[in-house]
Amino acid sequence: MPVQKILTFPHPLLKKRANKVDRIDNSMKILAEDLIDTMKAGPGSVGVAAPQIGVSLSACVVDVSENRHAKENNHGLLVMFNPVIISSNGNSVMREGCMSVPDYTGDVERATDVTVRYMDLSGKIQTVEASGFEAVAIQHEMDHLDGILFLDRIVSLKTGLFRRKNYS
């Protein structure tokens, strides 16, 4: 499927809570393919949420397997519909960036371990336990589904927001 255009802040759809997905049909499979292709095309991207491509549905993809921060600790490609964090533990501050906010990065505090329940591409309910960078990436994409950007979670606007030098 084709790579989709990423909406950028301050587009209003990025601040809106996404609608739940009722069932997995062909349109949801096409959406998943679009999300995967768009993620793979993005510079350094490890995830994309449906609202970022203009679709207000609770769907996102995450794949940190090629990232240096998570090569040893990941579940590969996760395609998640209606994801919900059912438990979380620990916290750390990590620098985050986002294709929807291309000019900035920021220090964000997130849980270090999360357990997430979601519907997969076959419509089955799955549970995944993620830690480290993968947990951060999942939380970041799930925030998009609630209309939250990493800018909303910056630990300090004085010391935690940085202009991106390059985007690659």
By annotation, the residues acting in catalysis are: 141
DSSP tally for the chain: helices H, then strands E? 2, 8
Q: Are 60 and 80 in contact (CB under 8 A)?
A: yes
**Cα first-last separation, the chain:** 23
Q: What is the dihedral of CA 45, 75, 57, 107, to 10 degrees?
A: -50
